[in-house]
């Protein structure tokens, strides 16, 4: 969902002719380290990955920010990250051997995934779960409009209309249609296994269910998922 958010933001900034600022981080580790704000002025800002000082950056431009934050059910965030890491889709997962370890502990199928999930949380996923929620909370506390990833799955055009409204984009139907059309290729429903980031589509439903079961079998993790769901307005259903 983070990559999707970034691609949508880039498409909108390009379509509107706006200078889009982006942050900087010193490493590709997981969970992502704090990002520095840009060292230049911009008209829009991409702050999807732990850029805690973005409110200060926005205030330095002398105008109130209009911001959107994309949220996702925390269980789905975790399960998606599990498969993303298993496929080694970022350098850190490969250099640290995370992908190979997960492949060894979790060869696939509907077998018990307890060992693989335990390693997953010990290596980085617990910290990611806590820190990513902290950043979502910061954005919501700053007044950002929350758009659920699940909304974008169910009705992309409707969710994007709400996104554009949060940014105070003109309600001219023709303009809205053009902007939504420019972003539609990034809709979750349109992604296939050919997308480098859509790794969960590579696996059978039985395997994904086994990973979900192992995640929820950890009482501490299950309780944290419920807590985060409550904060984000998702049903508590673990």
Q: What is the pLDDT of residues 91-144, one digit of tens each?
A: 999 999 999 999 999 988 888 999 999 999 999 999 999 999 999 999 999 999
Q: Specify the 3-state DSSP secondary structure of 2.
A: helix
Question: Which tokens go with 14?
Answer: 């390009």
Mean pLDDT of the chain: 92
Angle between helices 219-232 and 74-86 (to 10 degrees): 120
pTM of the model: 0.91
Q: Has residue 195 got a pLDDT over 70?
A: no
Question: Token match 């000082």: residue?
Answer: 53
Phi and psi, residue 49, nearest 5°? -125, 80
């Amino acid at each position: 969902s983070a990559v999707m958010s970034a691609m949508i933001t880039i498409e909108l900034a390009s379509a509107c002719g706006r200078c889009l600022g982006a942050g900087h981080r010193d490493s590709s580790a997981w969970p992502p380290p704090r990002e520095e704000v840009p060292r230049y002025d911009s008209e829009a800002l991409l702050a999807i990955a732990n850029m805690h000082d973005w409110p200060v950056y926005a205030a330095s431009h002398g105008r109130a920010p209009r911001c959107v934050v994309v949220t996702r059910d925390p269980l789905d965030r975790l399960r998606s990250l599990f498969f993303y890491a298993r496929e080694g889709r970022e350098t850190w997962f490969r250099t640290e051997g995370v992908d190979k370890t997960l492949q060894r502990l979790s060869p696939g199928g509907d077998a018990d995934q307890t060992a693989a999930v335990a390693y997953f949380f010990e290596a980085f996923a617990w910290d990611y779960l806590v820190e990513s929620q902290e950043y979502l909370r910061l954005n919501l506390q700053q007044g950002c409009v929350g758009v659920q990833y699940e909304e974008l799955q169910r009705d992309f055009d409707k969710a994007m209309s709400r996104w554009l409204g949060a940014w105070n984009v003109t309600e001219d139907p023709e303009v809205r249609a053009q902007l939504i059309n420019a972003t539609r290729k990034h809709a979750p429903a349109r992604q296939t296994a050919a997308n480098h980031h859509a790794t969960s589509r590579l696996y059978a439903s039985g395997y994904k269910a086994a990973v979900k079961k192992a995640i929820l079998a950890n009482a501490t993790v299950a309780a944290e998922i419920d807590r985060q769901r409550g904060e984000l307005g998702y049903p508590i259903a673990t």
